[in-house]
Amino acid sequence: MPPPALRRCLRLLTASLALCTSGFAVAGEPIKPSLRAELASPTAIWAHLEGVERSFAPSEWRLVASDNQEIAIATILPNEAETSLIIPAQPIDMKASYRLDYKSQNLSARVRPDAWFRTLYSPKPLGANVSADGRTTRFAIFSPRAEKVRLYLYDAAGAKPEEARQVIDMVRDDNGVWAADLKGDLSGTFYDFTVHGKPGPGRFFYESHPVHISDPYARANAESYGKSRVMAKTRPARPLANGRPKMEDVVAYEVHIEDFTRQLPVADDLKGTIPAFTIPGLRSKKGQKIGFDHLVDLGINVVHLLPMQEFLHYPAAEWQEAFAKDPEMQRLGVAGLSYEWGYRTTHAFAIENTYRRKGSDYGAEREQFRDLVQAFHDRGIAVIVDIVPNHTGENMDGRNMLFNFNVLDRDYYYRTSDAGEHIGVFGNEVKTEDRPMTQRWLIDQAKALIEEFGIDGFRIDLAGQIDQQTLIALREAVGPDVIIYGEPWIDVSDPIVRANPDWDWYKQDAPITFFQDDTRNALVGSPFKLDDKRTDRGYAGGNAAQRANAMKAIANSWPEEAGSTNLGINYADIHDNWTLADRFADRNWNGLEGVDEAPYRVAAGLLLTSLGPIVLHGGSEMMRSKGLAPKEDVIRYTATGPIYFKGRHDTYNVRTPNEFVWSDLDRSPKTGAPDDFVAMNGWWRGLIAFRNSDAGEVFRVAKVPGPNYINWITPENENLLGYFIGGEVLVLANVGSTPAKFDGVIVPQGNWRKIADGKTIDHLKGVGGKDATLLGGASVTLDSPAQSLQIWVRTP
């Protein structure tokens, strides 16, 4: 792979060529005329003109304010071939809205604040912060174009604005930070704001939208749509005694708080909550470890929690009016309250309040979450959190919600169109490039989760929509031992960002470890195609044509990963799309109707014998299915608009299909079940134990090893694949539906003990007795049962 500097040059060349040619049709038509304008200062506006000759005559240009008042133009100065500096005849108000017209070509553009906004930065603490001595409480919020910000203090979460005990006009500094210093420790006080300013495209100030907004830096919020609450910083959990796992050692387990705890045998006020997650000693009816003890016993070393930050929930009254009597919504567990995985963050510094123990007060979730982190740290397990900086809970489901950023300044915090509207396929896209305070917001939330709760890292949702420089800054800010990985796919919607190779990135120049979807596709198939069991379940599912890609997946040797197996994190399934149980279902793509267990075990074996870091989808070890969800999409409506239920392939907002059914851990053919959940749980647990053992160290390598580190066995029959790893481990897989033989396998010197026979695994005692021992130094023929994965290790 070319070095980073050369890769950047290649991307820059590609982007430049794209920009040069994008305006020409196939027949060589000229660039479509366009105008873009940026406000730089009260006396300067940048004009970017393409596709037409420009004029330096002020009479050819017109600058108009939002009230239709025309501002005289004094001078037009050239800068670059397509860029000019427009000088108004008199200073203009930076907080007002303007349009610039190029008369002769009938071109018009909103004067965007980008040139000014990219210079605004303040290091001052934001949010509500009590002084160390408890004598004062400081409130601070960033709103660069506001003309007035008012702070309202309340004694109760449900108080009306007219019931505020105090209303304070805040004071603005030169960088757009509004602050108020009040006497005393105001911990527990509820508060919100009104933000006032001039009208214009994309503006939602109080004068046109008389709403109260919450604090985007609040440490606690009364629901996503309610008031913020003053809270002291939480004292973090103690760090892991032996430090955070190195990336190559990571075996992460992705899990959702509510899904994991709803069916645990705990009191009703604990179901679906943070405290339920770490209750020890829970057992199934037949004595299987469930809940917290199940995770500890499974052997994972990282718990990866779906978003824990306050996220969008719809008001209960609106929701219940629409769905309380709807039989399908009742079946899916969402007739009474909305449910989310959490990918709609509304308050990045607050912990999701619905996860607190029922009956506890707003803000109690903070210490409850800290205690969860501590419980796992005490067992030597790291905790990372899924953060969602790419979009926020505003403007979801086609609604224009005014929680905070939309009002504080939509143009500052979000990528917007020339008309001031959101762009982006997920409702909005947060603008971290060219916006130092938005970049700071992302970094601040990550640091707060570490410093106030003691977490060990992050999975970044749709990280490909965060600019490269911000992710580099994030890594630098949190330190090298913090675990970070994220999704590289789904590009930004802004063509200016896409064309900049210092902002836009993909796998080949990723600033963080990324989800390796090519590994998933090779091993178990693409999540976007599920029609034919013979072809759509990857190599493990019997698609022999995927053998070469399966080899790349096992070696973590995709082209963009040259040099380090830590660049991509391998996985088979994750919260999005189909669970493995539904993908490997006997019929109807519904694991509740039975699972093809043999290829399912092969998929687990291939994944857990691959090089580099691993992330598992919570519940895969117990064949968790989303079969209760409908296969097709469903649309319902509340009073404010549509709600999209996306079916079994994306169950992000239905409750019951996602729940962990702990009673499954007691089920096997001996109990009359169609599937052997007991044995499958043992298979995954054994694979993880082997991977974490001294013998499994051959998989946990940070750098791409030499060419002979993996010796492949590739018979003519592509259903068969074998590999010696590091001269210490032999894996044989047969993904075909009939038994086969590996002929002429040259076994290195030493005694080789079988530890996995395709159904059971025991890396300590082995399986199969004496007949399962190989003597090295000879060529042997090895039987390979249909749809099986076997493992041998060299013994001392």
Contact 577, 620 (CB under 8 A): no
Half-sphere exposure of 195 (CA within 13 A, CB side): 29
CB neighbourhood size of 327 (10 A) = 8
Band (443; pLDDT cuts 50, 70, 90): very high
Q: How far is CA 540 from CA 606, 607, 613, 765, 788, in A?
A: 8, 10, 19, 27, 9
Decide if 240 is inside a domain.
no
Decide if 711 is inside a domain.
yes
Decide if 412 is inside a domain.
no
Q: How far is CA 439 from CA 161, 313, 432, 471, 718, in A?
A: 32, 26, 5, 9, 49
Got the DSSP string for 386-453? EE--S--STT-TT----SSHHHHHHHHHB-B-TTS-B-STTS--B--TT-HHHHHHHHHHHHHHHHHH
Please give the average per-residue pLDDT across 631-635, as a whole number: 91
Got the DSSP string for 73-122? EEEEEEEETTEEEEEESS---TTS-EEEEEGGGTEEEEEESHHHHTT---
Asked whether residue 646 falls in the same domain as residue 775, the answer is no
Asked whether residue 572 falls in the same domain as residue 491, the answer is yes
Number of domains in the chain: 5
Could you report the per-residue pLDDT of 16-37, keeping only the tens digit for each?
444 444 444 444 567 899 999 9
Asked whether residue 197 falls in the same domain as residue 95, the answer is no
Band (221; pLDDT cuts 50, 70, 90): very high
Asked whether residue 672 falls in the same domain as residue 739, the answer is no
- List all residues 6 or more positions away from 341 whose beta carbon is below 8 Å from its beta carbon: 256, 306, 307, 575, 652, 653
Band (282; pLDDT cuts 50, 70, 90): very high
Asked whether residue 733 falls in the same domain as residue 620, the answer is no
pLDDT for residue 4 is more than 60: no
Token duo for residue 518: 């090519």
Asked whether residue 681 falls in the same domain as residue 781, the answer is no
C-alpha radius of gyration, the chain, whole number: 29
Decide if 49 is inside a domain.
yes
pLDDT for residue 442 is more than 90: yes
Band (771; pLDDT cuts 50, 70, 90): low
Domain that holds residue 37: 33-117
Residue 718's SS3 state is: coil
pLDDT for residue 152 is more than 80: yes
Please give the average per-residue pLDDT across 313-325, as a whole number: 96
CB neighbourhood size of 120 (10 A) = 17
Could you report the per-residue pLDDT of 73-119, keeping only the tens digit for each?
999 999 999 999 999 999 999 999 999 999 999 999 999 999 999 99
Decide if 241 is inside a domain.
no
Asked whether residue 601 falls in the same domain as residue 725, the answer is no
pLDDT for residue 603 is more than 60: yes
User: At 101, which CATH number?
Assistant: 2.60.40.1130
Cα–Cα distance measured from residue 38 to residue 47, given in angstroms and rounded to the nearest whole number: 7
**pLDDT confidence of residue 19:** 42
Asked whether residue 711 falls in the same domain as residue 790, the answer is yes
Asked whether residue 677 falls in the same domain as residue 755, the answer is no
Q: Which residue has the tokens 């075990």?
A: 601
- List all residues 6 or more positions away from 128 whose beta carbon is below 8 Å from its beta carbon: 137, 138, 139, 186, 191, 215, 217, 218, 219, 228, 230, 231
Q: Could you say which DSSP state residue 304 is in?
A: E
Burial 337-373 (b: 16+ CB within 10 A, else e): ebbbbbbbbbbbbbbbbbbbbeeeebbbbbbbbbebb
Asked whether residue 3 falls in the same domain as residue 94, the answer is no
Sign of CA dihedral 323, 326, 327, 328: negative
User: At 354, which CATH number?
Assistant: 3.20.20.80
Asked whether residue 193 falls in the same domain as residue 326, the answer is no
Contact 568, 519 (CB under 8 A): yes
